[in-house]
Amino acid sequence: MNDSQDLAGRFRTNHDIIVAARQNMKQAEWDYVSGAAETETSLRRNRQALDSLAFRPRVLRDVSAVDTSVEFLGHKMALPVFLAPMGGLQRIDPDGAVAVDNAAEEFGVVNFVSTVTDPDLDVTAANSPHPKAFQIYVRGDDQWLRDLVRQVKKAGYSMVALTVDLAYYGNRERLNPSQMALRDVAHRTWQKRVTWDTVKMIQDELDGIPFMLKGIQTGEDAMLAVEQGVEVVYISNHGGRQLDYVQGNIETLPEIVAAVGGKAKIIIDGGFTRGTDILKAMCLGADAVAIGRLQAWGLAAAGAAGVARVLEILKSEIEISMGLLGVSHVDQLDANYVTPGKPVRFPHEMSAFPHLPIDRFE
């Protein structure tokens, strides 16, 4: 039996992945990945919003060949799934961003590389030839930012994202005191100065490389992004880690789709842990979904192979659900396939996995 078959035997579902991740992660790392800000209402609303959508399946259609692939800005992807930018991956696996990059290369998706994860952007860029995106946290003045963008361009990244919801570090009370102290690191103050002028400056430096804004949560800001010529609107509330009591991300998707009016691509993250979650976003107009916590749990469970296994499981879930919805390709999905529905479970970061004893995953 080869390693891939062995891993598939150990991890039949993402339930199994999460159990292994919890066993392998220290409490501080578990809290860093799984926690959120203050009451963690934003985190739970992400999940509740997904659980508040029901499907309207169609029948008697030929779904003998289901295709989960998509094209995003000219790049073919095996799934409409990005591996979201995550800082501190080296705390979960010593290979950090390279491990995630290896999984993306193996499976055929695009991964984000964060400003604040190891190894550095040049090492990760050189690791594999597939397209990847770079995510910027502003940690210096305008010249620092120009120099970073030039470095990113030289390294050959295919897309660049600026995170715009981090003017202040969220009050993440689940973190231990040493982690909470990171809120007060001096270089974080530069993020408070980010404005639409910063966006224009980065666009000028990128000179045509597709540019995303990550952290959009309203139709108003999505419209401003389109007016500024931003190619991708990335809907995110930072996994609930920033402002508490915001809407669940998929609740904001329809207004943002309307505001964008087809003039930009749309990525969304926040609580997406099931193939059905991803299809709900596609029905409502997203072009792709990014996974963060699920990616980290896969990395903690089994390194690069664990992340690849997460993607394999998602692909299987998507294929089965597409067939049962009566569609053979993602582009056939639209809002007619979903309708409001009442959640049946209390929202929690683990509520998509009913076979997990939640009290073991605090």
Q: What is the CATH number of the domain that holds 26?
A: 3.20.20.70
C-alpha to C-alpha distance for 244 and 161, rounded to whole angstroms: 23
Catalytic residues: 238
Range of the domain at 309: 3-361
* Total domains in the fold of the chain: 1
Q: What letter represents residue 126's amino acid? A: A
Helix (H, G, I), strand (E, B) or coil at 111: strand
Concatenating the DSSP letter of every residue in 241-289 gives: TSSTTPPPHHHHHHHHHHHHTTSSEEEE-SS--SHHHHHHHHHTT-SEE
Instruction: Please tell me the predicted confidence (pLDDT) of residue 183.
Output: 72
**pLDDT confidence of 1, banded at 50, 70, 90?**
very low
Q: What is the mean pLDDT of residues 124-134?
A: 98
| Mean pLDDT of the residues in the chain | 95
Q: Indicate yes or no: pTM above 0.85.
A: yes
- The pLDDT tens digits for 197-254 are 999 999 999 999 999 999 999 999 999 999 999 999 999 999 999 999 999 999 999 9
Q: Where are the alpha helices (DSSP H) in the chain?
A: 3-10, 14-24, 27-34, 41-51, 96-107, 121-127, 142-155, 177-180, 196-206, 219-227, 249-260, 275-283, 293-325
- The pLDDT tens digits for 308-354 are 999 999 999 999 999 999 999 999 999 999 999 999 999 988 999 99
